[in-house]
Amino acid sequence: MRRAVLAAVAVVAAVVAVNTQSEKLDYAAIGKIRDEGFNRSQVMDHISWLSDVYGPRLTGSPAIQQASEWAMRKFGEWGLANIHQERWKFGKGWSLVRFSAMMLEPQPQPIIGYPREWSSGTKGPVTADVVRVQIANEADFAKYRGTLAGKIVLTQPARRVRMLEGPIILRMDDQYEKEAETTPVPAPAAGRGRGPSTGSGQVPATAAQAFRDKLEEFYAAEGVVATFDRGSDSDMADGGSTLSWQQQHPDGGTIFPSGSFARDDKVGKSVPGLTIAVEHYNRMIRVLDKGLPVRVELNVETKYYDEAGMNGFNTIADLPGGDLASEIVLLGAHFDSHPYATGATDNATGSAAMMEAVRILKASGVKPRRTIRVALWGGEEQGLLGSKAYVADHLADVDTMTLKPEHAKLSAYFNSDNGTGRVRGVWLQSNLAVRPIFERWLEPLKDLGVTILSPRSVSQTDHLSFDNAGVPAFQFLVDRLEYNSRTHHSNMDVYDRVQRDDMVQQATVIAVFAFEAATADEKLPRKALPAPQRPAGRGTTSSAQR
């Protein structure tokens, strides 16, 4: 009996697979999409509004609210439906009002820099001596107690500045294409199954954070004016894929701030903290090493915003479907950015591509069967908070893997968050059942360079929230160009780094994929449902806290 049941299941599965494979593409509709996307593109105008006018779009700032209101107006102009914001608890908001930094001694020099997120201000312009401080353990505090009042503190040693060399511009050449088609065996996790390392010099993360908190409290108690750092020591990996690109951050006046101050009840209690260009930082170190004074004039004015209105939100709109309108194809990109520049390639490009995709579909007059929903996420930079809140509110409690009715109605989620390059394919997120379907969808796109279906699972952006809930979720694979080397989380993430032709292609390809998913006879196949992230009985985390 069991063999008969298994055989029947196998036959049904085979029939479904054959039917899925045999679905015909609507080339007339695809032609309309391509015509609208390539000949009447508005994607660069969207990017300019999001970056030039409203950037940066830090979650909790007035700018991201203004950008959302602009996006909702555009959705209304295009005739979309169900246009709204969905809010969730985030913490205090923050924005920069004014900043300037000038070295006065040994010679005048404007300083390239930016306050770290949620930094306090200086309460007006101040002039202060710069000192170097090296506090690595509890014993070091005594060395500096009573010596730092009214000083600007350099918190790191100097760092070597490398020449610009290596693959600064990353395009998917033949080597990388072949690599993307493979799935490497991951290395074993260091220390798996063991407690915190002892005797190795490594500090457990909780202890390291506690020490950083104590250091900030010490600086405040000692009357320090501000702290300067010159960014992280570490080289940057590819930031999302598992390709073996190890791309350093080139210097040359580009700064890559890292870390932020508290946005909870500790907000504003630390002294102002800034990241400055490593070349300017190193100069100060060298002058101090000569026994000469360094003086800086500094002005930092910032503003905080209470949580009363729930500072986190997502921006949502629908292109209604036809006979399968209750089912959803979801297009998403994170709308927020870090405040160091205008958030052009991270991620006005992805947000604009998704907006443009639904505009193309509406303007071309094609008729998707399923509803195509566009979602612009907040709080991605603080840990995928917006997409996690959407999943918790609409789809599932991933802690217990308790599913909500909408879970069964979501056919697929597609995400864009890797800069301004053209789409080269899709990361399949280990969902091998979709490969034959996507192979067919790629046929009318191969002339645009869309050829790669990588089996790999990638992370670090919003599709992961949906993948963790057992929904077919995919990140588009794009050429990284300068994303790693220049624009990602830097003061150079500006409109001028965006490549128009690539963005026109990206938005058009996404529109075709959305249309195919919305017109297919069946929803996309799913992987096995993930295990609960937290066993029952250990407590759960509400969506407002994620």
Alpha-carbon separation of residue 43 from 29, 240, 503 (angstroms): 20, 24, 7
Element (H, E) at 296: strand 295-305
Structure tokens at 135: 């506090």
Per-residue pLDDT at 162: 78
The predicted-structure confidence for 300-310, as pLDDT tens digits, reads as follows 999 999 987 78
Tell me the three-class secondary structure of 330-390, residue by residue. Answer: EEEEECCCCCCCCCHHHHHHHHHHHHHHHHHHHHHCCCCCEEEEEEEECCHHHCCHHHHHH
Please tell me the number of Cα atoms within 13 Å of 525 on its side-chain side: 18
Per-residue pLDDT at 126: 98
Per-residue pLDDT at 194: 29
Instruction: Identify the DSSP state of 170.
Output: B
Cα separation, 281 vs 444, whole angstroms: 52
Which residues in the chain come in under a pLDDT of 70? 1-22, 165-166, 187-205, 234-249, 535-546
Cα separation, 282 vs 184, whole angstroms: 40
For residue 526, which amino acid is it?
R
Instruction: Identify the DSSP state of 305.
Output: E
Cα separation, 414 vs 382, whole angstroms: 20
Cα separation, 213 vs 220, whole angstroms: 11
Reported residue count of the chain is: 546
Instruction: Identify the DSSP state of 240.
Output: S
> What are the strands, taking DSSP E only, across 106-245?
109-110, 113-115, 126-132, 152-154, 226-229, 236-237
Cα separation, 443 vs 427, whole angstroms: 17
The predicted-structure confidence for 219-238, as pLDDT tens digits, reads as follows 999 999 999 999 887 543 33
For residue 376, which amino acid is it?
L
Per-residue pLDDT at 248: 57
Local structure of 30: helix, strand or coil: helix
Structure tokens at 386: 């917006």
CATH 3.50.30.30-classified regions of the chain:
93-181+204-305
Q: What angle do CA 423, 424, 425 make, to 5 degrees?
A: 95
Contact criterion met (CB below 8 Å) for 157 and 289: no
Cα separation, 59 vs 307, whole angstroms: 12
Local structure of 20: helix, strand or coil: helix
Q: Which of 434, 412, 409, 400 is nearest to 533 (CA)?
A: 400
Cα separation, 265 vs 283, whole angstroms: 37
Q: Specify the CATH architecture of the domain 93-181+204-305.
A: 3-Layer(bba) Sandwich (3.50)
CATH 3.40.630.10-classified regions of the chain:
45-90+310-532
Q: Facing residues of 84 across strands?
A: 316
Per-residue pLDDT at 184: 80
What is the number of helices (H) and of strands (E) in the chain? 13, 20
Contact criterion met (CB below 8 Å) for 532 and 522: no
Per-residue pLDDT at 265: 85
Q: Which of 340, 459, 351 is nearest to 58 (CA)?
A: 340
Q: Facing residues of 425 across strands?
A: 452, 477
Q: Which parts of 428-499 fold into alpha helices (H)?
A: 435-442, 463-467
Contact criterion met (CB below 8 Å) for 327 and 478: no
For residue 65, which amino acid is it?
Q
Buried b (16+ CB within 10 A) or exposed e, 492-516: bbbbebbbeebbbbbbbbbbbbbbb
Q: Which of 429, 479, 478, 434 is nearest to 455 (CA)?
A: 429
Parallel, antiparallel, or unpaired: how do β-strands 236-237 and 246-247 relate? antiparallel
Assigned CATH for 45-90+310-532? 3.40.630.10
> What are the strands, taking DSSP E only, across 78-196?
81-88, 93-105, 109-110, 113-115, 126-132, 152-154
Per-residue pLDDT at 246: 34
